[in-house]
Amino acid sequence: MNKKLLPIIIIVVSLFVFFGNDLGLDKIFNKNSVEKTEVEKEVDKDLMKEMSEVIDVIKKSKASSETKLLASALWIGAGDMWAISDVDINSNKMVDFNKDLLSIYGKRYPELSNSFPGFSDAINKVFSKLIGEYPKQLTKEDCKKISNLYYAVGLSFQK
């Protein structure tokens, strides 16, 4: 996969967020009709154990079930992207990607902002444990781990 693919994905997502209604995409991806989805791939049970602090943060949140489903869709979608990625990327760029993704999603769904106090700290601990010290060059194996972690986060919002 081309190194320039990740910025292209971000641009395409941005275009959808800002012009989706004009393109008629709102009928396909209507936020008012979010349904609980299941990740087709089985997430490692040990990884879900690592998510205990993240799950506690989500459970303590006063966010509605609709908001939790939106957050779940965000993380599962990002997991799908990492599952098929074959990019030569540094771990610091992954952090930038996460920030951009959350910023874009936050503009489209402002109800996600500050809905899960403590989430960032909890998820950063899990990412650091999984990925290791920053910065580091990510391998295809690392991308698979990241994908599984994103799926685990998505499932955590559905618990």
For position 41, what pLDDT does the model report?
53
**Residue range 48-66, pLDDT digits in tens:** 888 899 999 999 999 999 9
Model confidence at 77, pLDDT cuts 50, 70, 90, reads confident
Model confidence at 36, pLDDT cuts 50, 70, 90, reads very low
* DSSP states of 85-147: ----EEHHHHHHHHHHHHHHHHHH-GGGTTSSTTHHHHHHHHHHHHH-SSS-EE-HHHHHHHH
Tokens found for residue 71: 């957050």
CA torsion angle for 6, 12, 16, 17 (degrees, to 10)? 50
More confident residue, 117 or 36: 117
**Residue range 84-94, pLDDT digits in tens:** 877 777 777 77
Model confidence at 17, pLDDT cuts 50, 70, 90, reads low
d(CA 88, CA 85) in angstroms, rounded, equals: 9
For position 138, what pLDDT does the model report?
81
For position 137, what pLDDT does the model report?
84
The distance from CA 52 to its chain's CA centroid, rounded to whole angstroms, is 17
For position 33, what pLDDT does the model report?
45
Please, what sign has the CA dihedral across residues 152, 79, 100, 25?
negative
Per-domain residue ranges of the chain: 44-156
Percentage of residues of the chain with pLDDT beyond 70: 72
Which candidate, 74, 89, 101, 78, places its Cα nearest to that of 5?
A: 89
Mean predicted confidence (pLDDT) in 107-125:
86
